[in-house]
Amino acid sequence: MGTLPFFAYAFAFLFLPAGQVLVGAFKGEHGGFTFSNITGLFHQPYIGAFQNSIELSGVTALAGGVFGVLIAYAAIRDGTPRWIRSMLTTFSGVAANFGGIPLAFAFIATLGSIGIVTKFLLNQLHYNIYLHGFSLFTKTGVEIVYLYFQLPLMILVISPAIDGLKREWREAAANLGARPIQFWRYVGVPVLMPSILGAIILLFGNAFAAYATAYSLGYSNLITVTLGAYYQGNVLSNPHFAQAMALGMFAVLALMMAIYIPLLRRAQRWAK
Amino acid sequence: MEDHEAQELEFWQKLREEGMSRTQMLKRSVAAAAGLTVLTTPGLAMARGMAAAPPLKGKGFSMKEMIAEAKKEGHLNTIALPPDWANYGEIMSTFSKKYGIPITNNNPDGSSAEENQAVQSLQGDSRAPDVVDDGPAFAISGTAQGLFAKYFVSEFSTIPRAMKDTRGYWTGDYWGAVSIGYNANLISTPPKTWQDLLKSEYKGKVALNGSPLTSGSAVAGVFAAALGNGGSLGNVQAGIDLFAKMKSSGNFIPVQSTPQTVASGQTPISIDWDYLNLGYAKEFPAANWKVTIPADGVYGAYYAQAINAHAPHPWAARLWEEFLYSDQGQLLWLKGYSHPARFQDLAKRNVIPKALLTALPDASLYAKVKFATSGQQTAAKALIAQQWPSKVGS
Amino acid sequence: MRLRMPRMAPSAYIWLFLGFAYFFIPLLATFLFSLDKNSTGKCCTLHSYGWVIHNPGFWHTLKVSFLLALETIAISLALFVPTVYWVHLKVPKLRPVLAFMALIPFVVPPIVLVVGLLDVYRGTPAWFYAKPWGFLVVAYVILAFPYMFFSLDAGFRSIDVHTLTEASHSLGASWVTTLLKVILPNIRAAALAGSFLALAIVMGEFTIANLSQFYTFPIFLQYVNETQAYPAAALTLMSFGITWAAMLSLLFIGRKRGQRAAFLTGAR
């Protein structure tokens, strides 16, 4: 079968280490089988960390998904010069992996207490965003920063699918007297929907697994940060508990997939 | 109770008893996980012929022979030694130049845990670290795991009892205290105590050197805050509460303070080790950085050197330790604004240049410094793990 | 009929402008900071950029990471394109399985992955274990897998795999020829998108390289960010620009080959 090399590779380098996680999650601190790692997950602050991570990932996946499609479409559609698309695609390739301290600092320098946008709003428009409750170091702030790599990821993944929306369809619809919004409702969105859903799942996973950016912004109530802390063992040390957390992350993503597959089937029916 | 456990306890007690003026409890939370490179495998050793085994004690051993053997090895692997941390940059380059032995420094920002991990993961590999610079908790746990080799540096006897493992597995090298650094251009009234940090004029200005969930330096910050907020080493709740209060009033910004945030003024007040804050003062003149040890809570910690039991370059490793504990090495650490282990011995013999002494904050500020035992550390970490994410981290 | 270049739609202007503003301003803030002098904290000097350029670690790690990226992209494409093609063509039921597998790398945190890999493969020969070209690339292909898969999946979905394959076979082409000359040009955009992401991942991956003690560009970047102020900002922008240039060159390479092949097969 043609997929054999792939599965062999995946087994050797993905399943084996991942299997360690599965097995390790049930090991106690001194060896032996235990469920305590799993049950421990349902207490604060871990359950809160899970909720936070899920919410953060969901919000940025949806926001990144919607705005990503809009920006990608704006760049690809007829009328926009081709170079804009090339620039956007390549830029997105870089920005999609821009994170950690450089990204955190870039936004601190922009929206921090003495950031250039903050100062601009204060000096030119006499509006102090910090006085009005905004702070870069809250969940909202982290979401704004996360979009910096979520949007590009969406743009990159959805662009080939938008290519698939043949120009002829739009012209044919126009010839038949359809307004743009009707085109989108009956042709455009249904055709794109399976790819959009897949891309949003990817964005969710991307945000869910992110660590360095939130850490640099000091937002530590996320499951990845907590997991890293426990696994590293520098301050807290319980690698098996960390593996249980990874198992929990696995469960969340499995749940996402369980939601995705029936949605996908429905979307594909529309596309047909 | 095992012998070394008793020693540990005694160690902590001695620490408190010992004259606290500039005690040399250096706890390096970053714990240079100097990966001790796994020593040459038996096969390799045999291939090298009957290579002499490195000595157990440095005292009385011929330095010339040690230097010759180390030169034959021709290399030293260190780990987790940031060049701007207590002047490690100059220490490493001085060593290399003096003995002609190049140093490969891996993972400069590694944690103690990573150092010990590297010793284990890379066992048998020529990239493994030769020496580590661990926090005491990891020096102790690493010893229990059999990661380290025994070695008594020549100057072993002049190092305070509390700062070394009497069996020779690890030796404390330098210590520092948690300090408050601030940008004098942006802060008109300098904060002098932990309670000062609650003042409304510091809104959005106070930052910590990382998260106490992952960084030992940040845990030290919580300890110090606890001491300054009516708590104790045994119960750091007061420390967590102080940070929580600062977070809710908006004074505390949870961002990790880095050279960028310090230089740019994004973190006008930074809670960090004294040697790091003092280093910033020198590095970033534009920030007009000043450092003070808060009067109401002085917390100190030291770091410990240990040699990888399977170091790829065992002679170079021991030469490195001899260098670090020589007067020259110790003074280089002092130049980096930290208190070297043999500080009292150096002071007694009057070999410390006056300029180095005056560069540090006044001795009286250090007089009340406290060090936590490993038991207190464990309890504090558990409490922080429970409370920090919800109270401060989000 | 005369071909008229259609004008750009007003809504396109708005969205592109908003996107541009959001992406550009933080970079501008970083740039302004990188121009500040250490002695005064204000503009202007190019000293920070000079610091980066004269740093040997910069050049060495850049070279290493680039080569790793190219190797990762080559292996990823060689492994994933035939697989996704096969699944779309013959075994569509496997698609959800692959999609699920593609999410696993997100769940296995890099830190867990690297410790697991280090453990499992410790006894392997030095040319694999102790060299980045072996050990690291293996891990990076795994990391790139989700992005490659979803990109390729979207790409394959937008073409008619069955018709193309049948047409190609009926003209007498072998599987390999079909794959290389017919299918690949048609999913060019998707393959490129996946390659971009793989490149960016390798140029930005820190944890695995760090724990396995390799010295790559992200390690250098992180080190500078933890210890330097102004050069860190300069380095951030330089690495951004370099990676972007690399992507553009990938684009041109892909375009040239794609155009020729597309012309030959008459595909879009």
Instruction: Give the dihedral sign, CA A16/A19/A21/A25.
Output: negative
Going by their DSSP bridges, the two strands B300-308 and B131-134 should be labelled as: antiparallel
What's the mean pLDDT in B258-287?
A: 90
C-alpha B205/C-alpha B183 separation (Å) is: 10
Is pLDDT above 50 for A186?
Answer: yes
Closest CA to C185 of C126, C115, C264: C264
Number of H helices, E strands in chain C: 14, 0
Query: What is the per-residue pLDDT for B18?
Result: 41
Confidence bin at A271 (pLDDT 50/70/90): low
Contacts of C42 in chain B (CB under 8 A): 286
C-alpha B55, offset from chain centre: 26
C-alpha B355/C-alpha A10 separation (Å) is: 61
Residue of B114, B264, B286 with shortest CB distance to C40: B286
Mutate to test the interface with A, among C11, C22, C25, C121 (most CBs of A within 10 A): C25
C-alpha A163/C-alpha A161 separation (Å) is: 5
Do residues C105 and C142 touch, judged by C-beta distance below 8 A?
yes
C225 contacts chain B (CB < 8 A):
yes
Instruction: Give the dihedral sign, CA A71/A77/A80/A81.
Output: positive
Query: What is the per-residue pLDDT for B27?
Result: 28
Confidence bin at B28 (pLDDT 50/70/90): very low
What's the mean pLDDT in C10-17?
A: 87
Taking each helix axis as running N to C, give the angle between helix B216-228 and helix B374-391, from 0 to 180 degrees, rounded to the nearest 10. 90
Query: What is the per-residue pLDDT for B51?
Result: 58
Residue of A70, A78, A209 with shortest CB distance to C106: A209
Q: Which chains touch C (3 or more CB pairs under 8 A)?
A: A, B
Contact A220 B394 (CB under 8 A): yes
Comparing A161 with B89, the larger pLDDT belongs to B89
Length of chain B, in residues: 394
C-alpha B371/C-alpha B271 separation (Å) is: 17
A233 contacts chain B (CB < 8 A):
yes
Residue in B closest to A40 by C-alpha: B386
Do residues B324 and B81 touch, judged by C-beta distance below 8 A?
no
Which residues 87-126 of chain C have a CB within 8 Å of chain A?
87, 90-91, 94, 96, 99-101, 103-109, 111-113, 115-117, 119-120
Query: What is the per-residue pLDDT for C104?
Result: 76
Query: Look-up: residue for tokens 């597309």?
Result: C262
What's the mean pLDDT in B244-256?
A: 88
Q: Per mean pLDDT, which range of A7-11, A53-57, C29-33, C237-241 is the poorest?
A: A7-11
Residue B281 tokens read as 């003062």
Residue in B closest to C114 by C-alpha: B121
User: Mind telling me how many Å the CA of B142 is from chain C's nearest CA?
Assistant: 18
The terminus-to-terminus CA distance of chain B in angstroms comes to 42
φ, ψ at B39 (rounded to 5°): -65, 165
C-alpha A44, offset from chain centre: 24
Helix or strand run (H / E) with residue C197: helix C188-204
Closest CA to C33 of B84, B210, A105, B269: A105
User: Mind telling me how many Å the CA of B114 is from chain A's nearest CA?
Assistant: 7
Contact C232 B260 (CB under 8 A): yes
Is pLDDT above 90 for A167?
Answer: no
What's the mean pLDDT in C197-217?
A: 85
By CB neighbour count within 10 A (0-12 exposed, 13-18 middle, 19+ buried), where does A157 fall? buried
Contacts of A54 in chain B (CB under 8 A): none
Contacts of C212 in chain B (CB under 8 A): 121
Query: What is the per-residue pLDDT for C267?
Result: 38
Contact C251 A86 (CB under 8 A): yes
Query: What is the per-residue pLDDT for C109?
Result: 67
φ, ψ at B167 (rounded to 5°): -80, -10
Q: Which are the contacts of B133, defined by CB distance < 8 A and separation ≥ 6?
A: B28, B30, B31, B32, B33, B34, B80, B81, B115, B173, B303, B304, B305
Query: What is the per-residue pLDDT for B273?
Result: 93
Cis upstream peptide for B191 (omega within 30°): no
Q: Which are the contacts of B143, defined by CB distance < 8 A and separation ≥ 6?
A: B4, B165, B167, B169, B170, B306
Coil, strand or helix: which one is A93?
helix
User: Mind telling me how many Å the CA of B391 is from chain A's nearest CA?
Assistant: 10
Residue of B212, B261, B390 with shortest CB distance to A108: B261
CB atoms within 10 A of CB A35: 11
C16 contacts chain A (CB < 8 A):
yes
What's the mean pLDDT in A1-30?
A: 76
C-alpha B296, offset from chain centre: 22
Strand pairing partners for B340?
B174
Confidence bin at C3 (pLDDT 50/70/90): low
Confidence bin at A270 (pLDDT 50/70/90): low
Q: Per mean pLDDT, which range of B281-285, B301-305, C249-253 is the poorest?
A: C249-253
Residue of A84, A153, A246 with shortest CB distance to C108: A246
What's the mean pLDDT in C228-248?
A: 88
Confidence bin at B24 (pLDDT 50/70/90): very low
Residue in B closest to C29 by C-alpha: B264
Coil, strand or helix: which one is C268?
coil
Query: What is the per-residue pLDDT for B274?
Result: 92
CB atoms within 10 A of CB A4: 10
Do residues A195 and A217 touch, judged by C-beta distance below 8 A?
no
Query: What is the per-residue pLDDT for C107?
Result: 65
C113: amino acid identity, one letter = L
What's the mean pLDDT in A164-171?
A: 74
C-alpha B3/C-alpha B165 separation (Å) is: 11
Q: Per mean pLDDT, which range of A36-40, A200-204, B88-92, C18-22 is the poorest?
A: A36-40
What's the mean pLDDT in B380-391?
A: 85
Three-class HEC string of chain B: CCHHHHHHHHHHHHHHHCCCCCCCCCECCCCECCCCCCECCHHHHHHCCCCCCCCCECCCCCHHHHHHHHHHHCCEEEECCCCCCCCHHHHHHHHHHHHCCCEEEECCCCCHHHHHHHHHHCCCCCCCCCEEEECHHHHHHHHHCCCEECCECCCHHHCCHHHECCCCCEEEEEEEEEEEEEECCCCCCCCCCCHHHHCHHHCCCEEECCCCCCCHHHHHHHHHHHHHCCCECCECHHHHHHHHHHHHHCCEEEEECCHHHHHHCCCCEEEEEHHHHHHHHHHCHHHCEEEECCCCCCEEEEEEEEEECCECCHHHHHHHHHHHHCHHHHHHHHHCCCEECCHHHHHHCCCCCHHHHHHCCCHHHHCCCECCCHHHHHHHHHHHHHHHHHHCCC
Is pLDDT above 80 for A239?
Answer: no
Do residues B340 and B174 touch, judged by C-beta distance below 8 A?
yes
Strand pairing partners for B252?
B206
Q: Per mean pLDDT, which range of A147-151, B38-42, B377-381 is the poorest?
A: B38-42
Cα dist from B20 to B173, B236, B239, B309, B366, whole Å: 17, 22, 23, 33, 8
Q: Where are the beta strands (DSSP E) in chain C?
A: none
Strand pairing partners for C92?
none
What does the longest C-alpha to C-alpha distance in chain C come to?
73
Strand pairing partners for A88?
none
Query: What is the per-residue pLDDT for A133?
Result: 76
Confidence bin at C264 (pLDDT 50/70/90): very low
Q: Which chains touch B (3 or more CB pairs under 8 A)?
A: A, C
Contact A96 C7 (CB under 8 A): no
C-alpha C36/C-alpha C24 separation (Å) is: 19
Confidence bin at C244 (pLDDT 50/70/90): confident
Cα dist from A101 to A136, A195, A215, C65, C197, whole Å: 14, 32, 9, 19, 20
User: Mind telling me how many Å the CA of A27 is from chain C's nearest CA?
Assistant: 15
DSSP letters, A149-172, are: HHHHHHHHHHHHHHHTS-HHHHHH
Q: Which are the contacts of B135, defined by CB distance < 8 A and separation ≥ 6?
A: B27, B28, B29, B30, B31, B112, B216, B301, B303, B304
Is pLDDT above 80 for B241?
Answer: yes
User: Mind telling me how many Å the CA of A261 is from chain C's nearest CA?
Assistant: 7
Is pLDDT above 90 for A224?
Answer: no
Closest CA to C193 of A199, A148, A271: A199
Strand pairing partners for B53?
none
Is pLDDT above 60 for B19?
Answer: no
Which residues 125-164 of chain C have a CB within 8 Å of chain A?
138-139, 141-142, 145-147, 150-151, 153-155, 157-159
Contacts of A228 in chain B (CB under 8 A): 214
User: Mind telling me how many Å the CA of A174 is from chain C's nearest CA?
Assistant: 15
Closest CA to C101 of C78, C80, C117, C121: C80
Comparing B22 with B259, the larger pLDDT belongs to B259
Is pLDDT above 60 for B50?
Answer: no
Q: Which chains touch A (3 or more CB pairs under 8 A)?
A: B, C
Is pLDDT above 70 for B46?
Answer: no
C221: amino acid identity, one letter = L
pTM: 0.78
Cα dist from A30 to A24, A182, A238, A239, C79, whole Å: 12, 64, 11, 11, 40
Residue of A48, A113, A215 with shortest CB distance to B211: A215
What's the mean pLDDT in B256-285?
A: 90
pLDDT in tens, B184-214: 999 999 999 999 999 989 988 999 988 888 8
Is pLDDT above 50 for C260?
Answer: no
Confidence bin at A1 (pLDDT 50/70/90): low
Contact A112 B111 (CB under 8 A): no
In whole numbers, what is the pLDDT of chain C averaged over residues? 82
C117 contacts chain B (CB < 8 A):
no
Do residues B310 and B68 touch, judged by C-beta distance below 8 A?
no
Contacts of C86 in chain A (CB under 8 A): 1-3
Residue C9 carries which DSSP code?
A: P
Is pLDDT above 50 for B30?
Answer: no
Confidence bin at B313 (pLDDT 50/70/90): very high
